[in-house]
Chains A and B, each alone.
Chain A
Amino acid sequence: MSARRGTLIGIVMLAAWLGGCSIQPWVKPYERERLADEMMKFSRDTLAERHIEHTREVREGARGATGVQGGGCGCN
C-alpha cells in the first residue's frame, strides 16, 4: 500500500469518526453561559495585548502563534 493511499484512508477514517459515528456537540448552547463570562476570554483588550506582544517580539527570538498580530518594526 502506498503511503499516499494509507494517508487517504486515515483521513477518511478520521472524517467518518468525526462526521458519521454519532458524535454530536455535547455542550449545548444553553450550557455555555459560564464560557461567556469576561474571565473566560483568551483575548480581552487589543491594545494592551499588542503592547505586551511588541515588547516580547523585539527581545525574544521566538515569534508567532499567540493570536496577536504585530505591526512589525525595526526596534531591537
Chain B
Amino acid sequence: MAAISTSNRLWSRLAALLGGVLAATGARALDLPKDRGEALVHSYSGGGVTANGPAVLVRKSVSDQVSLVASYYLDSVSNASIDVVTTASPYREQRSEYAVGVDYVYRDSQVSLAASTSREPDYIANRVGIDVIQEVFGGMTSVSLGFTRGADDVGKHNAPEFSETATHWLYRVGLTQILTPRWIASVNGEALADAGYLGSPYRVAQVFGAAVPERMPSTRSGRALNLRVLGDLGSRDSLRAEYRYYWDNWDIKAHTFEIGYRRHVGEDWLGEVGLRYYSQSAALFYSDNAQAETLYVTRNRQLSTFNNAGIGAKLAYTVSKVPGQYDFKINGAYEFVRFKYSDFTDIRTGNLYAYNANLLQLYASVTF
C-alpha cells in the first residue's frame, strides 16, 4: 500500500512538473498554414521505367482556425524494367491519387486529419491519418505525434479470381528544437507495421536457377529514426544535414545521408544543391538464385543489398510578390541518381545490375 502511495505521489509530481513545462509557452500561438496553390509536372526515368504526370494542390482557410487542403496526383507509368523484360511484357498504366485534409489550430496546438486514395488498375491503397503538433517551451520546441492506417486491395491483371488485402499501421513521433537564433534541429521516429499480402503477384524468384513465384511473409515491422539540422550560415545561405537509420524484422538495415546547401541570389532567386547517399542490407529471404528450398524466397531487388547516390539542384524564381498579400513562384528541380546492386544479377548479361535515373520537376506555387 505504501509503495503504491509513493508511486502515486511521484506520478503526481511528474505530472505537475511536465504541466509546468507545457504552461511555460506564453501566449504565442501556432500559425494556421497559409493559403496556397501548387501545380506540378513531374517526371522519373530510369531502369526502363518512366513515370510522369501532373499534380495539383489547393489549400484554403475557412476560418482563422481551420484550413482545408485537397490534392490530385497522376502517375502515367511505362514499365520495361529489368523484372518486366526478363519475365513478362512491358506495360503502361496510370495511378491516380486523391487526398484531402483539414488542419485545426488552437493556441499552441495543431490537429491535422488526412485521407487519401491511390488507384491503379490492379491496386487500391487507402490511407487515413491524424497528426498533432504542440509547441512548448516558449515556442522553441515543437512536439508531434501521428498515426496513419492504410488498407490496400491487391488484384492481378486478367485474373479476377485473385483478390488479396494488406493493412498498414504507421505511428510517428517528432521533436523540432530551435537551438540558436541561426540553427534548428529535429528528431523524428516512426514505427511501421504491415500485415497481409506484401508481395507482388507478378514477381518471380529463382531457386536452383528455375523461376518460381515469390513467397513473402505476411507481416513486417520496421522502425525509422531521422535526425536533421539546418543552419543559417550568415550570407543569405543555409546548410542542411540529415541522417536516417531504418531497421526491420526482415533484417533490412538502411542508412541514408543527405546534405543540402541553399542560397538566395538577388531578391528573386533561391537556389539549392544537394547530395544524398543511401545503402541497405538484404532481407533474410532475399536471394539472387537460392540454393536451398526455404519457406520464404524473393528476388525483389528492393529487398536486396544495394546503394544509390544522388546529386540534385533546385531553383525557385519569385515572379511576383506583394508582402502580406501573395507570393508567386516558379520552380525547377533535377536529380541524378545512380543505383548499384551487390547481389542482383542482370540475367541478360550475367553482370551485377546497375542503372541511372533522372528526376525532373517543374512547378508553380502561389501563397496568398
Chain A residues engaging chain B, CB cutoff 8 angstroms: 5, 8-9, 11-12, 15-16, 18-20, 24-29, 31-35, 37-40, 42, 45-48, 50-52, 54-56, 58-67, 69, 71-76
Cβ–Cβ contact A29 & B139, under 8 A: yes
Identify B174's interface contact among A29, A35, A40, A67, CB under 8 A. Answer: A67
User: Total A-B pairs in contact (CB under 8 Å)?
Assistant: 211
Known A39-B264, A61-B302, A69-B129: A47·B73 in contact at CB below 8 Å: yes
Bits for B1-34, please: 1 = Cβ < 8 Å to A, else 0. Answer: 0000001001101100110110010001000000
A25 — nearest CB in chain B belongs to which residue?
Answer: B138
Q: Is residue B256 within 8 Å, beta carbon to beta carbon, of the partner chain?
A: yes
* Interface-central residue, A8, A45, A56, A71, by most chain B CB under 10 Å: A71
CB distance from B87 to the nearest CB of A (A): 14
Besides the contacts A19-B17, A64-B170, A65-B224, what 8 more A-B pairs have beta carbons closer than 8 Å? A25-B139, A40-B232, A50-B55, A62-B224, A62-B278, A63-B192, A67-B188, A71-B116
Known A18-B21, A19-B17, A60-B278: A69·B363 in contact at CB below 8 Å: no
Interface of B is mostly: strand
Q: Is residue B60 within 8 Å, beta carbon to beta carbon, of the partner chain?
A: no
Bits for B240-252, please: 1 = Cβ < 8 Å to A, else 0. Answer: 1000101010101
Query: Can you identify 20 A-B contacts, CB atoms within 8 angstroms?
Result: A20-B20, A24-B24, A24-B138, A27-B181, A38-B270, A42-B230, A42-B240, A46-B38, A47-B55, A48-B42, A52-B359, A59-B308, A62-B222, A62-B224, A62-B244, A62-B254, A66-B226, A73-B97, A75-B51, A75-B123
CB distance from A4 to the nearest CB of B (A): 9
Identify B189's interface contact among A9, A29, A31, A65, CB under 8 A. Answer: A65
Q: Is residue B237 within 8 Å, beta carbon to beta carbon, of the partner chain?
A: yes
